[in-house]
Chain A
Amino acid sequence: KNQVEQSPQSLIILEGKNCTLQCNYTVSPFSNLRWYKQDTGRGPVSLTIMTFSENTKSNGRYTATLDADTKQSSLHITASQLSDSASYICVVSDRGSTLGRLYFGRGTQLTVWP
């Protein structure tokens, strides 16, 4: 069964600190892995998309890594800000027709305290 598991389920950090969120998946055949940020009560917004050949991608203070061999990804947030408080969702796509099926993780709820 294709699955996406995220850890930790929730995380509290102080403003200015760094943190790393984890995503393990069993989806096969793999097409791409995405990280989304979802603010409370809002729709998810894309942070990064990585294909099989990419092992790191940055978007400002967000850096995602991918190890396709071990089927693990991480999202590193540098110098956290209060606005980083949100749920971070890992999504893996299999190599389907045009888009492929998407497998969603349950998200990591990040809270940044002042």
Chain B
Amino acid sequence: EADIYQTPRYLVIGTGKKITLECSQTMGHDKMYWYQQDPGMELHLIHYSYGVNSTEKGDLSSESTVSRIRTEHFPLTLESARPSHTSQYLCASSEVKASGRLGTGELFFGEGSRLTVL
């Protein structure tokens, strides 16, 4: 069982509201990710982080922002939610193996946050 937690699991809010999806991991992993997943579709990377104070945008353009002030915490924020933001958001982390070697880089996923914007 992976030690990575997401809250809330489900959120229904109105258009224009600010929301923050929380993600925490207790495995000490440096790399963390946010994926967006719609029904029947593949996961799309929207943000990732190599470590504290490092954040990068992923392959899928997103109006959300992220921060990485602590190793274990990687929250995602939407300043003004819209119906088009309705989706499942999955947080993940991975371990980076010894330097100079490609590791397995296994991803550990949280349970997801299902966001519905009315």
What residues on A are CB-neighbors of B2 within 8 Å? 45
> Is A106 a contact partner of B40 (Cβ separation < 8 A)?
yes
Nearest opposing residue in chain A for B10, CB measure: A41
> Is A43 a contact partner of B42 (Cβ separation < 8 A)?
no
Interface of B is mostly: loop
* Chain B positions 39 through 52: 1 when the CB is less than 8 Å from some CB of chain A, otherwise 0: 01111110000000
What residues on B are CB-neighbors of A106 within 8 Å? 40-42
Give how many A residues have a beta carbon under 8 Å from the other chain's beta carbons: 23
Give how many B residues have a beta carbon under 8 Å from the other chain's beta carbons: 26
> Is B106 a contact partner of A43 (Cβ separation < 8 A)?
no
Q: Known contacts being A99-B31, A99-B94, is A44 close to B102, with CB within 8 Å?
A: no
Q: Known contacts being A102-B45, A104-B43, A106-B42, is A93 close to B114, with CB within 8 Å?
A: no
Q: How far is the CA of A45 from the CA of B94 in the complex (A)?
A: 13
Whether B76 sits at the interface, judged by CB under 8 Å, is: no
Q: Which of A67-114 contact B (CB under 8 A)?
A: 89, 93, 95, 98-100, 102, 104-107, 109
Q: A41-B114, A43-B111, A100-B102 are in contact. List 16 more A-B contacts (CB 8 A).
A: A4-B42, A32-B104, A43-B109, A43-B110, A43-B112, A44-B43, A49-B106, A98-B96, A99-B94, A100-B105, A102-B45, A105-B42, A106-B40, A106-B41, A106-B42, A109-B40
A-B contact pairs, 9 of them (CB 8 A): A44-B109, A46-B107, A46-B108, A49-B106, A95-B102, A99-B31, A102-B45, A105-B42, A107-B42
